Structure 1
Amino acid sequence: MNDSYIKIKSFTRLLQFQIVIFCTLLLAVACHHGGSIPANYQSTNPACRQFEHAAGITCIPEKFERLVTLDDASFENAIALGIKPVGSIFFDFSFYLQDKLIGVKNIGKNGEPNLENILALKPDLILGSDYQRYIYNLSSKIAPTILFNFEHSGKWKEVFTNMSVVLDKEETGQKVMENYYRRLKEFKQKMGDNLSKIKVSVVRVYPNTINLYLRDSFCGTVLQDAGLSRPNSQNFSASEGEKLFGNSIQMSIGNELIEKADGDVIFIWTAENSTQGNQTAKNKLEQLKSNPLWQNLKAVQKNKVYLVPDYWIGSGILAANAIIDDLFKYLINSP
């Protein structure tokens, strides 16, 4: 997973969190089941399909009505497949999803799902990503839990496909992806000869650093599918990024390397998991704008720098379509 999608907690904090939720779940489930925790919740439903995932093999109920999602990608993918979860983690800064959260119960912050809140919803299926393995043993006692392998954000299509299988919505998933590629085909046609002439730079401003998103990041894969090229400074695969920068999808640059952020156009954003962090990143962006090295960039001088929302981070099909909207807006419809 990319580091913006979830910040890894310290060992001490994680241990404290696990102790709290274990005690809460132990008490709540014991009350709910007349004083005992079921040894194998999944075995109580014979009508199910087995699915191998990041945390093991889980038996998915053939019929489920109360889905809970543990992260924003799982939430938006479920929505795209026509299923609205009864509960999900809430994400303050993914504004493109806010209207979809109406009527959905809050089960906690991104990276900190509250198992007591999940239990209260009486779910019959829980979906999340592999970085949530630390709660799997507990969540799977509430309901069958599937954790999708999500090596990094550029793997979003595989995750979406797997989710369509789990939710028994493969036909719907195929239609959703067909629409994605249809929109990209239209984009390429409207771009015409300009498609091969534009190199797109993608920049994210953190509170303490400036990062460039690489070819196999979530947004990088959408740009690839759109037929758009990247500056040489960002044209690295996931394996190359991991080897060169210790990160498969992004690299950090200092002020002395700001020229690596240049391109024919620059898409730039800030996005943090807290109000304070987001404001600090915005302040950093304003400082960047006043930097003479930034002002010397070709895209800056040609007024081809576009501030975009945090859905450029990803990592679901709705975010991918939102990026396509931006490509039409800024590369075709912009004067």
Structure 2
Amino acid sequence: MKWTDKPWVLAPLAVLAALVLQGCDEAPMEQTTSEPKAKSLVIHHNLGTTEISSTPERVAVLDMNEADFLDQLEVPIAGMVKDYVPHFLAAYGADSDVQDLGAITQPNLERIYALKPDLILMTPIQAAQYDDLSELAPTLHFDVDFRDSHGDHIGDVTEHLLLLGKLFDKEKLAESKAEELKAKVEAVHQVTEGRPETALIVMHNNGSFSSFGTRSRYGFVFDSLGVKPASRIADNSLHGQPVSSEFIHQANPDILYIIDRTAVMERRPVMRADQMSNPLLRETKAWKNGNVVFVDADAWYITAASVTSLELLMDDVIKGYRSSPSG
């Protein structure tokens, strides 16, 4: 069954024409009745084209970044995946009126169908299910690169925020949030600009480590936030480049950002510096100077591509400089 066969997502029959431009365009539609004019949005994204003929009212959310966008825009969520919900969205995870749509990596299509959504929001994590999802309802893909954010990651987040603002008639609120995000980026630059310290971003996973460099999912920390990398390692895998304690010791960063993936997967508090007894890490400049930041794992690992997560992430970046001898 095609989504166009479903009565809850049928487009108005009075549409005569819609202006289609690259990206997302809005045009009033001529109607044969005296009803208020509706809008039509035609959105081009990496997986195809999605046409929205009216403001969505029942939204299925398949990624926590998208859930945060809707939370920021004060848009109700009809259903979302609930396997890993960040602390700043915990109220949605606990709300029985927000239907559980399964897992982030494998959303439950039967539950989505039963939800009868008029819009599905997804990210590259669900790319393999795009065709099936599009059969259920108009499906919008968030064009963000979770493997290599080098370039304009924050710009991509801002653009998506403004797009959703237009889609849900929340333009002014979206613009206000975008300005707040821009101001936060500028505040980070005031801290990092001209600073000599180098930093390393590593993920801790049950005693093992992986590193994220300038062309990784956290590449934007270096090229958009002005943090100087302690290593030029290039890797665009989702979980980084596996590295040893010796590698971290040799890189000898001034600042060490540690993402505790184990805390996320085991749903426990993020570890503290005094709980990590690795002797080689304790010999780094970062450890000796007190510049080891165990970051907000929910913001960095589960999301990192939404308004709230970026703000929390930038707070963590700033923390790395506060104990520095140059600070």
TM-score scaled by length of structure 2: 0.72
What residue number does 2:4 align with? 40
1:244-255 equivalent positions in 2, closer than 5 A: 245=235, 247=237, 250-255=240-245
- 301-310 vs 219-228, which moves further: 219-228
Kept in 2, the 8 Å contact 1:212–1:261? The answer is no
Query: Root-mean-square deviation (CA), in Å?
Result: 3.4
- The equivalent residue for 2:204 is 205
User: Bigger CA drift: 74-83 or 155-164?
Assistant: 155-164
Partner of 2:259: 269
Partner of 1:28: none
What's the CA shift for 1:128?
0.2
Q: CA offsets, 1:127-168, max 9 Å, x none?
A: 101342332333223221112333335246415513532551
**How many corresponding residue pairs?**
283
Cross-structure match for 2:292: 305
| Structure 1 residues 55 and 251, CA gap change in structure 2 (3 angstroms) | same
Distance 1:138 1:80, change over 3 A: same
Kindly state the Cα deviation for residue 305 of structure 1 after the two structures are TM-superposed. Answer: 1.2
- How much does 1:270 deviate? 1.3
Is 1:79 matched with 2:105? no
Higher relative contact order (CA 8 A, sep 6+): 1
CA change 1:216–1:145 in 2 (3 A) is same
User: Match of 1:178?
Assistant: 179
User: How far is the alpha carbon of 1:60 from its aligned partner?
Assistant: 1.2
Preserved CA contact (<8 Å) 2:222 2:228: yes
Q: Provide Cα deviations, 1:14-73, integer angstroms capped at 9, x if missing partner.
A: xxxxxxxxxxxxxxxxxxxxxxx3473488303632212233222113221111111112
Task: State the SS of the aligned residue for 1:292.
Answer: coil
Residues 45 and 110 of structure 1, relative CA distance in 2, 3 Å threshold? same
Match of 1:115 among 91, 109, 116: 109
Q: 2:100 aligns with which of 106, 109, 127?
A: 106
TM-score of the two chains, using structure 1 as the length reference: 0.71
CA distance in 2, matches of 1:266, 1:151: 24
| Cα distance change on mapping 1:219 and 1:246 into 2, 3 Å | closer
Query: Identity over aligned residues, as a percent?
Result: 23
Give 1 or 2: higher helix fraction: 1
SS of the counterpart of 1:57?
strand
Change (3 A) 1:70 1:156: farther
CA deviation string 1:275-301 (max 9, x = no partner): 45x67x979x95xx3333222211112
Q: CA deviation at 1:268?
A: 0.8
Deviations 1:104-134 (A, max 9, x none): 3221122121122222322111110134233
Instruction: Identify the match of residue 89 of structure 2 among 94, 97, 112.
Output: 97
| Cα distance in 2, alignment partners of residues 229 and 249 from structure 1 | 21
Q: Is the contact made by 1:41 and 1:144 (CA closer than 8 Å) also made in structure 2?
A: no
Worse-matched range after superposition: 98-107 or 55-64: 98-107
Q: Flag the 1:282–1:196 CA change in 2: closer, same or farther, 3 A.
A: closer
